[in-house]
Each structure stands twice: as C-alpha cells, then as structure tokens.
Amino acid sequence: MNESEHGKHCINPDYNPVFYFFGRGFTNLAFNLIWRRQTCGREHIPPMGRSVIFAANHRSLADPNLVGTSIGYPIHFFAKAELFDVPVLGWYIRKVNAFPVRRIESDISAFKTAQRILKNNEGLLLFPEGGRRLEPEKQFVGKAGVGMLACKTGATVVPVGIVNSDKFPRLTKLQVRFGKPMTPPASPTKDDYQRFSDEIMARIQDLCR
C-alpha cells in the first residue's frame, strides 16, 4: 500500500497526508539536529499494512512526535480529549491522525476507534502508563488497556523505549529504541489482559536501561 492509498483508506476522514508529512519532516529535522536523536531497532518495525501497536513509556509532550517521526509511514495517535478543544491545535492534530480519548474514565468510543484502526491493518501509538509519568514509583506501571486491545485484535505489539525525553527542555540527546515485536496470547482470557500489559511494560523498561 503506498502513501496515497493509505490516506484514501485511512480510518480518520480528517487525515491529510500533506499536513502529516510536512509536520513529520520539520519535526524530524529538529529532533535529529537539535536534540541529536538516536534511533535504534528500526529493523523491528513491521512493514506498512500490518496491524501493529507501538507501546511506549511517556515522560514528555514531545513523545508522540518523537516516536511517530521515527517510523517511516503514517500511524494513528491517542490524544487527550481536551486538546481537541484548543483552537487551531485541535483542528491540526485531527489532520495528522490523532483521535480523542478521555484519560480519567474508560473511553469505549476511543477503544472502538483503536480496534477499527488495527483491524484495518494500520499502526497505532499508545502509552500503556495512561499518561505522562514523572514520579519514579509510577513509571513502567501499565494499565490493562494495551493488553486488552492487542488480545481482542491480534495486533502485534512493538515495545518502544524513549530515553531522556523528560529532559527535553535542556536539549539533552534523545534516544528512541524499538524492541522485538510481541504477539498476544492465543485464546486469551480477561486475566491475560493485565498479564500481557505487564510483559509489555517489562520490555519497555528493559529498553530504557
């Protein structure tokens, strides 16, 4: 599937490939030149046209762009619902494949959107921790959502370790590390949702060491 076909068949009707690739090109250049980003494990990224969840730790508002620009094709992003109410910003993030999710309550609508994305063999970035986690005791503790989503769709999960994004304002060198793809258990039960999420978070933590 080429880029134009991806845009045509994309789940998000507001998606604009021009906006996506212009924004990707600009931020990609900034990350590489200013923050001296290093990207490792790109060989673990499945080719375009596969159902894949990119699951990453979350320390900075820059993380979605940091991971998204490290992947060579368009993916979808969760974004907190409040951002879509911000003038201009809300309009723009829809154009670049973000969709709203409520962080506090269980958002069934967002979950169903994520399912459609994955069943359409597209990529999705999410943060299993549920939001930015700067307190050490709260880091690398994942919620059951990523495990449930993977188990219900059969999507491959690629763990992603983001290093130093909490030091983003200090222009510290950034690293994005992609781990080996993980496959959800066959014939999963509800107990497997959290168990698989925990396995994913353990891989992410290893990538961040």
Is the model's pLDDT at 62 over the cut of 80? Answer: yes
CB atoms inside a 10 Å sphere around CB 170? 8
The position carrying tokens 């063999």 is 121
Compute, in degrees rounded to 10, the torsion defined by CA atoms 153, 155, 158, 164: -30
CATH classification (class only), 3-207:
alpha beta
Look at residue 104 in the predicted model and tell me its pLDDT: 46
Look at residue 137 in the predicted model and tell me its pLDDT: 84
The rounded distance, in Å, linking the Cα atoms of 77 and 69 is 12
CB neighbours of 99 closer than 8 A, spacing ≥ 6? 12, 76, 77, 78, 79, 110, 113
pTM for the full model?
Answer: 0.91
The rounded distance, in Å, linking the Cα atoms of 172 and 165 is 8
Binned at pLDDT 50, 70 and 90, residue 157 comes out as very high
Angle at 160 between CA 85 and CA 185, to 5 degrees: 100
The percent helix, strand, coil of the chain (3-state, each to 5) is 45, 15, 40
